[in-house]
């Protein structure tokens, strides 16, 4: 969801150590952003940052990168990080369609949390688990491809299960009610809101060997 009219959003981002300006300059050398050899996990559509910040606090030996299309949303995530003082998290602002222009054999796990479901059939290829995007992801993974998805939208979830399977992914974990399982979970702001309203959260974890 886009937050509109955040005054000086661009200035706020560029003045923060958590924001990576011109991320395409780091293609293939993303680890230099963190100055260590720890694994890197990526979230596309990071929103206000609740999930990624929670993960970064839980796993200090993993580096996390959040990608968001709108700078006005990233401002909120950046402000939260300033309060937490984390050294294993960075944020970037660009369209997911350019994902393989920024990353190359850098990522170990990709999180797709509550992505736009694009429910109409004619928009199928815009879904982040469509064959179009799965092909882009192939080059960003360091070794085996590893995707974790959460969504409240059953149409997107069913589509993801089908597309991932057709593309050669093995579905290792699947749940249509994540919160009733023992799977470790950090809630997104969207997830918390809608689960409180009684919505079930769909979850999958899928892997594919290169």
Tell me how far apart the terminal alpha carbons of the chain are, to the nearest angstrom.
34
From the list 22, 87, 106, 116, the catalytic residue is 116
CA distance 137 to 104: 9
CB 70 within 8 A of CB 60: no
CB 133 within 8 A of CB 127: yes
106 is annotated as an active-site residue: no
The two three-digit tokens of residue 41, written as one number = 């996990």
Q: What angle do CA 68, 175, 109 make, to 5 degrees?
A: 40
| Cβ count within 10 A of residue 18 | 20
Give catalytic residues, as residue numbers.
116
């Amino acid at each position: 969801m886009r937050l509109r009219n955040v005054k000086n959003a661009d200035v706020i981002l560029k003045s923060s150590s958590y924001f990576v300006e011109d991320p395409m300059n780091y293609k293939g050398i993303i680890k230099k952003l963190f100055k260590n050899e720890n694994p890197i996990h990526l979230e596309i559509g990071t929103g206000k940052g609740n999930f990624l910040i929670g993960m970064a606090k839980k796993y200090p030996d993993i580096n996390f990168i959040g990608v968001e299309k709108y700078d006005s949303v990233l401002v909120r995530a950046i402000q939260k990080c300033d309060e937490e003082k984390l050294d294993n998290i960075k944020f970037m602002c660009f369209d997911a369609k350019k994902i393989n222009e920024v990353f190359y054999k850098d990522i170990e796990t990709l999180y797709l949390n509550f992505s736009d479901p694009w429910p109409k059939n004619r928009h199928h290829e815009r879904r982040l688990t469509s064959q179009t995007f799965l092909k882009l992801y192939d080059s960003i993974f360091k070794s085996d491809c590893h995707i974790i998805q959460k969504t409240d939208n059953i149409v997107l979830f069913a589509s993801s299960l089908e597309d991932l399977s057709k593309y050669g992914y093995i579905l290792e974990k699947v749940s249509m009610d994540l919160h009733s399982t023992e799977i470790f979970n950090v809630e997104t702001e969207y997830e918390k809101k809608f689960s409180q309203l009684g919505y079930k959260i769909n979850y999958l974890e899928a892997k594919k060997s290169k």
